């Protein structure tokens, strides 16, 4: 199997699993109990919190709250901050956020909040000029992702925070860093971030654990009330093995950033250049420079993404379609639509996302098989005239 869907989820690193196993087997104590047995579980959480603090360059461990996933981190930040300060009724986000932010914002819109959705250009880059005009006195919160899950495009978070704070120092800034963690350096202080969410399963920890950074100047109300855990901001007995795994994954991710920037990027670039040069109806759907190193998104004009994925799956290749397919109805990706991607490739877009486990041999295999698949699908496309025209324009199949 060739797994090129690492923005969907990643393989658990063996070292992460090793870190977790003692807490799934013998060290099963509740970390809040008073005996020595419990102290070891308590210390495992403390150590992991320190590792996440270092990973994000937070000021202190108290700023890190463990959650169950990226979606929970986003919900906790958005709902928590708006519940704490419910007098300001204007909030801002972008048109290309993950549904965990977009659908949460839609709920506030239904409740009567004034919501602005900032647009992007054809390469998926944020419209900073638009953002500048939208911040108001009553803007309670701006939520902007660090890296896009479909295109890999990186938003200029430091510039965004400077824009927000220069216009309204009281506006809170939440960053969904789920697709940035483990791919590019994250520094919450340097970038002026109030709250930031990450998710373990996107950087080789298991599914079911994440974290939310909240700086000491930001107050929120909890989503889950109950015990005193996580400073009373997220009640419930801590998931010790997964938290220990998250800490280890963060430590490994920090150490692996150089490999991501060089080797993962080299393989991604090879895949991308290989596809674009061998398939005449391939079209790059993302910015070339401001991207995380592991992601590319390529549209195959006049053919269906789902068909490409099925053929690739038969060859043992896992990738992902730019369009979400829910209960049989094909909805083109909201991200590609916001970018104004032409309809000719909107339905035939494929996201390829690599990881530190991707090998050159795997990339070579995809580059050998994919052109054959596309050629086969081109033959059954209902748009034969258009394909012929495109082929002629591109110089006969290059
Ligand atoms: N934010 C982004 C950008 C994502 O890509 C994802 C998952 O795909 C999430 C949030 C949600 O993360 P989780 O699956 O851990 O809830």
Q: How confident is residue 65, by pLDDT bands cut at 50, 70 and 90?
A: very high
The CA distance from 378 to 373, in Å, is 9
Same domain, yes or no, for 64 and 165? yes
Known catalytic residues are 325
**pLDDT tens column, 168-185:** 999 999 999 999 999 999
Which residues have C-beta atoms less than 6 Å from ligand 1?
Answer: 69-71, 98, 100, 145, 149, 176, 178-179, 199, 201, 210
Structural domain count of the chain:
2
The range of the structural domain enclosing residue 322 comes to: 2-6+257-395
- Shared domain for 215 and 291, answered yes or no, is no
> How far is the C-alpha of 202 from the C-alpha of 122, rounded, in Å?
26
pLDDT above 50: residue 252: yes
| Cα(135) to centroid(ligand 1), Å | 26
Domain stop point among 255, 287, 306: 255
CATH code of the domain containing 182: 3.40.640.10
Q: Is it the case that residue 91 has pLDDT exceeding 90? A: yes
Interval 24-62: pLDDT, tens: 999 999 999 999 999 999 999 999 999 999 999 999 999
What mean pLDDT is reported for the chain?
Answer: 95
Q: What is the CA radius of gyration of the chain?
A: 22
Same domain for 52 and 198: yes
- Can you give the pLDDT at residue 321? 86
How high is the pLDDT of residue 289? 82
pLDDT computed for residue 326 by the predictor? 41
Return the residue whose CA atom lies nearest to atom 13 of ligand 1.
Answer: 70
Whether residues 55 and 99 fall in one domain: yes
The residue out of 232, 255, 278 marking a domain boundary is: 255
189-224 pLDDT, tens digit per residue, is 999 999 999 999 999 999 999 999 999 999 999 999
Average pLDDT of span 235-246: 98
Same domain, 247 and 317: no
* Neighbouring-strand partners of residue 117: 93
| Rounded distance between C-alpha atoms, residue 205 and residue 13, angstroms | 7
For 116, other C-beta atoms within 10 Å of its C-beta total: 18
Which of 73, 98, 207 for a ligand 1 pocket mutation test, highest count of atoms within 8 Å of Cβ? 98
User: What's the CATH code of the domain at 352?
Assistant: 3.90.1150.10
- What is the per-residue pLDDT across 324-362, written as a single tens digit (0 to 9) for each? 544 444 678 999 999 999 988 888 999 999 999 999 999
């Amino acid at each position: 199997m060739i797994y090129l869907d690492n923005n969907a989820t990643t393989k658990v690193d063996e070292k992460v699993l090793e870190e977790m196993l003692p807490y799934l087997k013998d060290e099963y104590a509740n970390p809040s109990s008073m005996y020595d047995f419990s102290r070891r579980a308590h210390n495992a959480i403390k150590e992991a919190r320190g590792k996440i603090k270092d990973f994000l360059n937070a000021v202190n461990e108290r700023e890190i709250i463990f959650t169950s996933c990226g979606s929970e981190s986003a919900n906790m930040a958005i709902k928590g901050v708006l519940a704490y300060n419910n007098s300001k009724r204007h909030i801002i986000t972008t048109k290309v956020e993950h549904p965990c932010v977009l659908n949460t914002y839609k709920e506030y819109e239904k409740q009567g909040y004034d919501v602005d959705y900032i647009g992007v250009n054809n390469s998926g880059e944020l419209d900073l000029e638009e953002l500048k005009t939208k911040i108001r006195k009553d803007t309670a919160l701006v939520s902007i992702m660090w890296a896009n899950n479909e295109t890999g495009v990186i938003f200029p978070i430091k510039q965004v925070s400077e824009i927000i704070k220069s216009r309204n120092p009281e506006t809170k800034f939440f960053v969904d860093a789920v697709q940035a963690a483990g791919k590019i350096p994250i520094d919450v202080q340097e970038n002026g971030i109030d709250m930031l969410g990450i998710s373990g399963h996107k950087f080789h920890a298991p599914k079911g654990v994440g974290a939310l950074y909240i700086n000491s100047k930001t107050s929120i109300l909890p989503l889950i009330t109950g015990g005193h855990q996580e400073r009373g901001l997220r009640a419930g007995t801590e998931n010790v093995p997964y938290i220990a795994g998250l800490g280890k994954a963060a430590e490994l991710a920090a150490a692996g950033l150089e490999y991501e920037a060089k080797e993962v990027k080299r393989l991604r670039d090879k895949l991308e250049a290989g596809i674009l040069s061998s398939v005449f109806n391939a079209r790059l759907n993302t910015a070339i420079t401001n991207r995380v190193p592991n992601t590319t998104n390529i549209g195959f004009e006049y053919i269906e993404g789902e068909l490409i994925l099925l053929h690739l799956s038969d060859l043992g290749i896992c990738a992902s379609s730019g369009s979400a397919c829910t209960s049989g109805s094909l909805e083109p990706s909201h991200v590609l639509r916001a970018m104004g991607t032409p309809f000719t490739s909107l339905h035939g877009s494929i996201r390829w996302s690599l990881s530190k486990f991707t090998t050159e041999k795997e990339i070579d295999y995809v580059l050998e098989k994919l052109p054959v698949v596309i050629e086969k699908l081109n033959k059954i496309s209902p748009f034969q005239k258009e394909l012929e025209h495109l082929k002629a324009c591109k110089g006969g199949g290059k």
